């Protein structure tokens, strides 16, 4: 149980300082749809939504960052999370917003420091606990959306 709090605390540290923005836009619509699928524990729908964005644009920042966190919090496959983290950072690397680039680097680093010595950093019980801690919104999705908006 301590692992879940360590992972979540590390990943959420930066999120607390970011302003939350809402609004009717395609990123906002994606966030709402992803949160709905998360709330229903519909992992297949989450992956369909994420992959749909990435089929349209392989460098979609919100899609890549959501997929990175999907691999951390849902599938618990850190090697995949790290691979997508590299793609995510590369997608943000050319943006002119230094704060977005800095946050993207922190997000990537947060994923890369999770120990690979455990094949599954979050066990089944811990993944279920994530749904208790975050019943209505996919963990880190606000951070993903913020970076995507700033990197445009």
Are 61 and 91 in contact by the 8 Å Cβ rule? The answer is: yes
Cα(111)–Cα(81) distance, rounded to whole angstroms?
7
Are 92 and 61 in contact by the 8 Å Cβ rule? The answer is: yes
Query: For residue 86, is pLDDT > 90?
Result: yes
Cβ contacts of 97 within 8 Å, gap of 6 or more: 150, 151
Cα(102)–Cα(107) distance, rounded to whole angstroms?
9
Query: For residue 13, is pLDDT > 50?
Result: no
**pTM given for the model:** 0.82
Chain centroid offset of residue 113 CA: 15
pLDDT band, very low/low/confident/very high, at 144 (cuts 50, 70, 90): very high
Query: For residue 147, is pLDDT > 90?
Result: yes
The candidate with the shortest Cα–Cα distance to 144, out of 108, 115, 93, is 108
Higher pLDDT, 94 or 32: 32
DSSP state of 16: G
| Stretch 110-129: mean pLDDT | 72
pLDDT band, very low/low/confident/very high, at 8 (cuts 50, 70, 90): low
Query: For residue 14, is pLDDT > 90?
Result: no
pLDDT band, very low/low/confident/very high, at 123 (cuts 50, 70, 90): low
Higher pLDDT, 44 or 116: 44
Cα(107)–Cα(140) distance, rounded to whole angstroms?
10
């Amino acid at each position: 149980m301590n692992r879940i709090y360590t992972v979540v605390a590390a990943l959420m540290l930066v999120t607390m300082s970011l302003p939350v923005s809402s609004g009717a836009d395609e990123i906002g619509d994606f966030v709402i749809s992803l949160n709905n699928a998360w709330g229903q524990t519909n992992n297949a729908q989450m992956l369909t939504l994420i992959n749909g964005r990435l089929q349209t644009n392989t460098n979609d920042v919100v899609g890549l960052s959501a997929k990175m966190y999907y691999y951390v919090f849902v599938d618990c496959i850190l090697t995949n999370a790290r691979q997508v983290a590299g793609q995510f950072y590369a997608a943000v690397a050319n943006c002119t917003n230094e704060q977005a680039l800095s946050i993207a680097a922190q997000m990537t680093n947060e994923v890369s420091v999770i120990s690979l010595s455990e094949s599954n950093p979050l066990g089944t019980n811990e993944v279920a606990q994530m749904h208790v801690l975050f019943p209505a919104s996919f963990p880190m999705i606000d951070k993903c959306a913020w970076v995507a908006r700033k990197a445009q």
